[in-house]
Amino acid sequence: MYERNYYDPIEVASRAEIGILQAERLRQTLERVYAHVPAYRRKFDEAGVKPSDFRTLGDLAKFPFTSKADLRENYPFGLFAVPREKLARIHASSGTTGQPTVVGYTKADIDTWANVIARNLYSCGVRPGMLVHIAFGYGLFTGGLGMHYGAERLGCTVVPVSGGMTKRQVQLILDFKPDVILATPSYLLVILDEFKARGIDPKSTSLKIAVCGAESWTYAMRDEIEQAFGIHAADTYGLSEVIGPGVASECIETKDGLHIWEDHFYPEIIDPVSGEVLPDGEQGELVFTSLTKEGMPVMRYRTRDLSRLLPGTARSMRRMEKVIGRTDDMMIVRGVNVFPTQIEEQILRCSGLSPHYQIELRRDGRLDVVKLLVEARPEATDDSVREGSAQMLMAHIRNSIGIGVEVDVADPGKIERSAGKARRVVDLRSKP
């Protein structure tokens, strides 16, 4: 039977058609925020630009950026473009640095969101009728509810488990036999360990597809998950300020980066220092502008995520390369810029080491010292095997990244687990 490989025809439209749609939607959004959001009007006025200065897509670069600081300054509801009572839902990000950032959705936004998630899941190989186990957190975090509405929209049977209670996750997978699981990659590893602890071969489950995201993870981590469960694992990307999950997704047929749903979110890559727009193919900070959001459109929102824009493959929409890391997670060790994902890649090259790790940063006099805590694989019980793994990891990191690190191989289960995003970096540098 013929099966089309896209959910919405726009995913495979011509670049010309996509460009025309983007320009028209951008023009409307600029006018809307200028008319309805005083904070944007002020920013545009200060920068000396008006919505009428936008004629072609390249003109967007004249408009000012929005950052997390703008959301904080306008906390809680100051960036909404509609009266509060027109909003159907509010979400917020956890705000590790204090105040949470608040986002609002109209009924139409919830509908758009369900649609982009349905598209996202479809591109990951999920089909109507499949049973979908959602282990992303429900609540103010956008992962659980965002995915939930989209999976329902696609016509799946949804099991809204949320994160945590790992024993129950495993029991529900055994009893309900889901085809698909949605979770952060680090939490999926926690679930994997629970299968192993119960003596159940993870390959024997009903699962066929994992859709993972909400944190950085490497291709090496994908291999680990795919081989352990015998499934496909696809990457999905998004952020609350832009909509939540559903901004970009891998296509299962190519798994070569994430197609951005460019008819709703206009991407740019900028130099994080100068703010200059970089050409496609160059690495820099991702910036998104809303094209269809009603409740809280964002203009040139700086994500702090580092990636690059690439041409479409499985779809005509452009791809973003798998996120390398966040600018705020970048460590500068003796002048070398290092991201946790680079370290993860090297850990997974060492057969005695598990993918559970944490990076501790300390200051020794004027120098930054990196200590890696990595768990041994349960089968690596022998001290000499562990010592050999530590030596191997130090050598890999020295040769490929160019920095010296200390490595501490811990017993399995010693490093903290999270039911959501893993905390990879523990920065102890400000402490004595």
Q: Does 216 bind ligand DLL (CB under 6 A)?
A: yes
# residues near ligand DLL by CB under 6 A: 21
Among 22, 106, 120, 142, binds ligand DLL (CB under 6 A): 142
Q: Give the integer Cα–Cα distance in Å for 290 and 30.
A: 9
Mark the segment that binds ligand DLL (CB under 6 A) among 75-83, 124-132, 236-244, 388-396. Answer: 236-244
Q: Does 244 bind ligand DLL (CB under 6 A)?
A: yes
Q: Does 100 bind ligand DLL (CB under 6 A)?
A: no
Mark the segment that binds ligand DLL (CB under 6 A) among 43-51, 137-145, 263-271, 351-359. Answer: 137-145
Q: Does 305 bind ligand DLL (CB under 6 A)?
A: yes
Q: Does 237 bind ligand DLL (CB under 6 A)?
A: yes
Which residue's Cβ lies closest to ligand DLL?
A: 213
Q: Does 272 bind ligand DLL (CB under 6 A)?
A: no
> 416 pairs with which residues across the strands?
none
- Nearest-approach distance from CB 221 to ligand DLL, in angstroms: 11
Q: Does 187 bind ligand DLL (CB under 6 A)?
A: no
Q: How many C-alpha atoms does 256 have within 13 Å on its Cβ side?
A: 11
Judged on CB neighbours under 10 Å (0-12, 13-18, 19+), 362 is: middle
Give the DSSP letter of residue 354.
E
Tell me, rounded to whole angstroms, the distance of Cα 161 from its chain centroid: 20
Q: Does 188 bind ligand DLL (CB under 6 A)?
A: no
- Nearest-approach distance from CB 341 to ligand DLL, in angstroms: 9
Q: Does 124 bind ligand DLL (CB under 6 A)?
A: no
Q: What's the Cα-to-Cα distance from 406 to each of 364, 387, 394, 426, rounded to whole Å?
A: 13, 12, 7, 14
Q: How many C-alpha atoms does 88 have within 13 Å on its Cβ side?
A: 10
Q: Does 344 bind ligand DLL (CB under 6 A)?
A: no
DSSP secondary structure of 213-241: ESS---HHHHHHHHHHHTSEEEEEEEETT
Q: Does 213 bind ligand DLL (CB under 6 A)?
A: yes
Q: Give the integer Cα–Cα distance in Å for 33 and 81.
A: 6
Residues 350-389 that bind ligand DLL (CB under 6 A): none
- Nearest-approach distance from CB 245 to ligand DLL, in angstroms: 4
Nearer to ligand DLL, 216 or 292 (CB): 216
- Look at strands 209-213 and 309-310 and give their pairing: unpaired
Q: Does 214 bind ligand DLL (CB under 6 A)?
A: yes
Three-class secondary structure of residue 289 per DSSP: strand
- Nearest-approach distance from CB 35 to ligand DLL, in angstroms: 27
Closest CA to 299 of 113, 19, 51, 17: 51
Mark the segment that binds ligand DLL (CB under 6 A) among 24-32, 188-196, 240-248, 313-321. Answer: 240-248
- Nearest-approach distance from CB 237 to ligand DLL, in angstroms: 4
Mark the segment that binds ligand DLL (CB under 6 A) among 1-9, 231-239, 383-391, 396-404. Answer: 231-239
Q: Give the integer Cα–Cα distance in Å for 296 and 303.
A: 16
Asked if 343 and 408 count as a contact pair (C-beta separation under 8 A), the reply is no
Q: Does 236 bind ligand DLL (CB under 6 A)?
A: yes
Q: What are phi and psi of 368, to 5 degrees?
A: -85, 135
The site for ligand DLL (CB under 6 A) is made up of 93, 136, 141-143, 213-216, 235-240, 244-245, 303, 305, 323, 326
